[in-house]
Amino acid sequence: MDLFEYQGKQYFARFDIPVSPGGPADTVDEAVTEANQAGYPVVVKAQVQVGGRGKAGGIKLADNEAEVREHAGNILGMDIKGHVVRRLWVEKASDIDEEYYASFTLDRAEKKHLLMLSAEGGVEIEAVAESNPGAIVKLHIDPVDGLDAATARQACVDARLPERALDGAAEILVKLYRCFTEGDCDLAEINPLILKPTGEVHALDAKVTLDGNAEFRHPEWEAFKGLTEMDDREKMAAEKDLQYIGLDGSVGIIANGAGLAMSTLDVVNQVGGSAANFLDIGGGANADVMAGALEVINFDEDVRSILINIFGGITRGEEVAKGIVEALGRVDLRAPIVIRLDGTNAEEGRQILLDAGIPADKLQSEPTMLDAARAAVALAK
């Protein structure tokens, strides 16, 4: 789950990471209220999950109430690379001496945590990585040991942060690492991390991705939900706990397992079709999940055929078949189904479909993934 900047800052605050005083605003009036509370000058920032907000005019400095009204009015509703701005974050402007970059992620190749720290923050870190890789300190941290204050300070020294920034930056690194680990982040990034003329170091931006698998131990994440940028199809799928991504094609896809689902997309593409979505019903899906998946696919008006590709392992064929029969009784599917069913209890599943007496123009069975893709693509044309 990707957080908006303001949510990231709220999350940072839970771990004592210093951020500027401010608040979210959905209207011009709310923006003024937040600005008056924070104290001028303020920065009015568009809340969208896409880079390049500043260049697009989505971040503006305001010295007084009139300027807040002007900028908030302009930015709300603005389209930034396809993302419409529905919310602002208004915070007290900071005096900046220097801008740094800091982040924690998991390095999958090394199987360790990775700290990246640079004295050249404020810009695209990828650009720095390309033009001046030596300017980024990369430190692997064993998750068993964690990050202590001395190591964090040494990283700041290695990144050539100035003496007066060392203590403040090191302290933030330790807190950010706690946020990353105890806060179950896939990514915790501050860019820029700023040094003020007063010598204080603080987070001017926040980029946080939460690990959905850890949701069970974070009831506080509930507050972050609801604003994620999803289309109507994706919202419906999310309500049913399905892994769904909307695409632009006409073949609705249902498969079990992310790999097989991706592979199904590939094969549909190779035989000349295009997928309307990616939908992984996951491992061990029962009849109810399958019926729900068909409802989500049916909600998409562009879908002209539905390709169900199931290779049962933990998912059982008879459950899949029951779900299809149930869905056909529950909803009026506008597109025909082509199914390929293999693996655990596939035989029982095929029998259930046969016994249900579903007409051939509503459901056809194909022996292989490739055959099923060809049939579904033909039906979608």
Partner 1 sequence: MAIFVNENTKVIVQGLTGGQGKYHGLRNRDYGTQIVGGVTPGKGGQDVDGIPIFDSVAEAVEATGADASFVAVPPKFASDAILEAAAAGIGFVVCITEGIPAQDEAKTYNLLVRNHPGTRLLGPNCPGIISPGKCNIGITAGEIAQEPSADGPNVGIVSRSGTLTYQALYELKQKGIGVSTCVGIGGDPVPGTSFIDCLAEFEADPETHAIMMFGEIGGSAEEEAAAYVRANVTKPVAAYIAGVTAPPGKKMGHAGAIVSGGKGTAQGKMDALSSAGVKVGLNPTEAGELMADIAAGL
Contact residues for partner 1, defined by CB under 8 A = 106, 108-109, 111-113, 126, 142-144, 181, 184, 186, 211, 213-214, 216-217, 243, 245, 247, 255-263, 265-270, 275, 278, 280, 282-284, 311-314, 342-344, 368-370
**Least separation in angstroms between CB 74 and partner 1:** 27
> 35: which 2 tokens?
């600005």
DSSP-based three-state secondary structure for 190: strand
Can you tell me the distance from the alpha carbon of 135 to that of 164, in angstroms, rounded to the nearest whole number?
Answer: 19
Please, which residue, 19 or 297, has the CB nearer to partner 1?
297
- Strand ranges (E), 79-123: 79-80, 83-84, 88-92, 98-107, 112-118
Please, which residue, 56 or 341, has the CB nearer to partner 1?
341
Is residue 229 part of the annotated active site? The answer reads no
Please, which residue, 59 or 245, has the CB nearer to partner 1?
245
Determine how many CB atoms are found less than 10 A away from the CB of residue 95: 10
**Least separation in angstroms between CB 323 and partner 1:** 17
Please, which residue, 143 or 197, has the CB nearer to partner 1?
143
**Least separation in angstroms between CB 309 and partner 1:** 9
Own/partner pairs, 367-372, CB within 8 angstroms, 24+ separation: 367/340, 368/340, 369/263, 369/264, 369/267, 369/309, 369/340, 370/267, 370/271, 371/340, 372/307, 372/309, 372/338, 372/339, 372/340
**Least separation in angstroms between CB 372 and partner 1:** 12
Catalytic pick among 99, 189, 319, 366? 189
Name the CA radius of gyration of the chain, rounded: 25
Please, which residue, 195 or 251, has the CB nearer to partner 1?
251
Is residue 101 part of the annotated active site? The answer reads yes
**Residue 303: how many CA atoms within 13 Å on its side-chain side?**
25
- CA 245 to mean position of chain CA atoms: 11
Catalytic pick among 101, 120, 244, 318? 101
Determine how many CB atoms are found less than 10 A away from the CB of residue 87: 20
Please report, to the nearest 10 degrees, the dihedral formed by the alpha carbons of residues 180, 54, 161, 187 taken in order. 10
**Least separation in angstroms between CB 91 and partner 1:** 27
Residues annotated as catalytic are 101, 189
